Homo-oligomer: A and B are copies of this chain.
Amino acid sequence: QAAPQAQDAKIADLQRQVDELKAMVRAMQAAHGAAPVVIAQTPATSAPAATTPQPVQMAAVAAPAPVSAPEKKKAWYEKLQLRGYTQLRMNEIISGDKTAPAGRSRLRSVQDSGINENGNLSIRRARLVVQGDISNRVSLYLQGDLSAAVSNQSGSEPRQNFFQRRDAYADVYLDKAKTLKLRLGQSKVPFGWENLQSSSNRVPLDRTDAINSPVPGERDIGVVAYYTPSKIQAIWDELTHDGQKLFGNYGALGVGVYNGQGTNRIERNGSYMTVAMATMPFRLDGLGGMFEGQVAEFGASGILNKFRPEIRSGGVSAVDYDDNHVGAHAMIYPKPFGIQAEWTWGRTPEFDRATGTIKAKDSSGGYVMAMVRVPKTPIGQIIPFARYQTYRGGWKVATNAPRLETEEYEIGVEWLPLKELEVTLNYANVSRTEADERRTGRAKGDLVRAQVQWNY
């Protein structure tokens, strides 16, 4: 048994160690910009002997409270974060209408200008995002792309790859549980599941013409309310945790108004575009068997808009055209086998060859995609996929709103050798009109494509 002297020494030594720790913790707090923590002066070693330990023990219980009390003011880097992703692509037309005489369609795509007779490498997206919770009630999302072209340049350096806005919005939460939010600013228009899903999460390289045609660039300036019941959020959270590729932090229910002239374009009429969307995930466990653990999702969306296309003679059309669309989507998340389909019907501006003018005409199309998710292989996760898409209708954001006639069969595989690195290989058999009303007929051919994407 230790003598009281030895105990004294041990107690004194403990006090020294505690003092050292205090100094270290204070230094760290100071270094990290914490509010100074007032520590009750310890009467410890010099205190007169207390006959009963109770009051001191009470202090021990009460003491921690003031420590945790001074709610630390968050540093900027704890509120905001930088992130993004970059996509390096190689496109090669291996057979078909690489080029064509004037007046005839060449094999091109409105989804990737890198598909052309030269092929080679291109950076499709180089995204940088500043996002975070500014406070408990307001979140920020500011995204730009360092791959935007600027036309009509000549001289030595300044042409391609400028930084252009994609998103610039604030989410204002209307309830503490964050089920209801108002999204203010430039953000994605809630039309079409595929449009809302980030390109960094999409398995195929490009969106489909049909689903993208109502909202090319996907974004506009507006105000939109999103509502997500917590039960639905729970299903999505589970899917996210499982590694599934969701459509992002949108709501189960979205209703909004936007300018309606498209991404990064000047508003051209005084009218607003109105849009609404609903999507709902369901657990399929009840079905048992192969559906155990699987989740399906169904939904629909609609747009009412007036649009003014740019015209060949310069500027934009002086009259408004109907630009109304409805869409539906359905999917089973891949576990391991998944299927995903969307379809859209509408009236949209389209160049009419007979009269040489733009008219509002019917449009329709969609896609069906099958995929198999194999999360664990010796070389990392792989997702083989196959997709068919079709579209008939105007492409309103190209000059004179040319008609697209698209038929595409794709097979490919997405491979994740590392969590932050995605490789996608893709073969496509394509039949498309070029998005130029001065060229006729359909270009046909075969396309091999590859992409490396790094996420940061």
Binding site for B on A (CB under 8 A): 1-29, 31-34, 37, 39-40, 42-45, 47-51, 53, 56-57, 59-60, 63-64, 67-68, 72, 74-84, 86, 88, 110, 117-123, 126, 128, 130, 132, 134-135, 137-138, 140, 142, 144, 146-165, 168, 170, 172, 184-186, 216-217, 221-223, 258-259, 263-270, 272, 310, 397-399, 418-421, 452, 454-456
Contact = CB atoms under 8 A, between A and B. Distances in A.
A68 B43 CA distance: 23
Contact of A144 (B135, B163, B259): B163
9 contacts: A12-B50, A14-B15, A20-B64, A118-B267, A119-B267, A121-B222, A137-B418, A148-B157, A154-B310
Contacts of A172: 421
Copies of this chain present in the complex amount to 3
Given A7-B7, A17-B44, A47-B13, A270 B164 contact: no
Main secondary structure of the interface of A (DSSP, over half): mixed
A151 B152 contact: yes
A453 B172 CA distance: 12
A162 B160 contact: no
A398 B216 CA distance: 33
Given A22-B64, A80-B456, A154-B399, 4 more contacts: A6-B48, A12-B53, A20-B39, A137-B418
A20 B63 contact: yes
B21 A419 contact: no
B13 A8 contact: no
| Interface core residue of A20, A33, A59, A83 (most chain B CB under 10 Å) | A20
Given A14-B11, A155-B151, A421-B170, A23 B68 contact: yes
A13 B165 contact: no
Nearest to A64: B23
8 A-B pairs with least C-beta separation: A6-B49, A23-B64, A16-B60, A161-B165, A170-B454, A163-B163, A9-B50, A160-B264
A351 to B, nearest CB: 15
B21 A18 contact: yes
Contacts of A39: 20
Contact of A47 (B10, B19, B152, B156): B10
B14 A18 contact: yes
Contacts of A120: 221, 259, 267, 270, 272
